[in-house]
Amino acid sequence: MLTQVLTLIVWTLIMWFWLYATRIPAMHRARLDVRKVTRADVEALPPYATRAADNYNHLHEQPTLFYALAFYTNLTGMADVTNERLAWAYVGLRVAHSLVQATINFVPLRFSLFALASAMLIAITVRDVIVLICI
C-alpha cells in the first residue's frame, strides 16, 4: 500500500503548485504587496484563487489517517488485494475531491466524494481490526 501513499503525496504536491499558480497571479491582479498581505486580503481574493489552497489544507487533514493506516496495514502484513484496492479507491476519490473543490466546487458532489473516501478508510480499518482480533 506504499505506492498509494506515494501517489497521494505526489497529488498533494501537485495541489501545492496549483494553489500558487492561481493565488500569486490573483494577488498581483489585486495589487497586493506579498510582503504585507493579511489573511483578510487573501480571503478577499476571488474563489478560483482560494479553492486550491483550501483543498491543499484538506489534504493535510484526513489523509494523515490514511498514511498511518497504510503503514500499519503494510507493516502488519495485512496489505492484501482487497486492502490494496480500497487504498487505490481512497486515493482516486481524494484526487476527484480535489478536482471538484479546485474547479466547480459543487458541495454536494464534493461531500459525496469525501464520504465515499471515508468509507474506504473505515473498510480498511475494520478489516485490520478483525484480523487483529482473530489472531
The 10 Å Cβ neighbour count of residue 123 is: 17
Sole residue written with cell 498514511: 67
Domain boundaries, the chain: 2-134
pTM of the model: 0.94
Phi and psi at 42, nearest 5°, equal: -65, -40
Indicate whether 75 pLDDT > 90: yes
Indicate whether 33 pLDDT > 90: no
CA distance linking residue 128 with residue 61, whole number of Å: 21
What is the pLDDT at residue 125?
A: 98
Phi and psi at 101, nearest 5°, equal: -65, -40
Instruction: Count CA atoms closer than 13 A to 127's CA, side-chain side.
Output: 23
C-alpha cell, 13: 504536491
What is the pLDDT at residue 8?
A: 98
**With bands split at pLDDT 50, 70 and 90, how would you rate the model's confidence at 35?**
confident
Indicate whether 37 pLDDT > 90: no
Say whether domain 2-134 belongs to CATH 1.20.120: yes
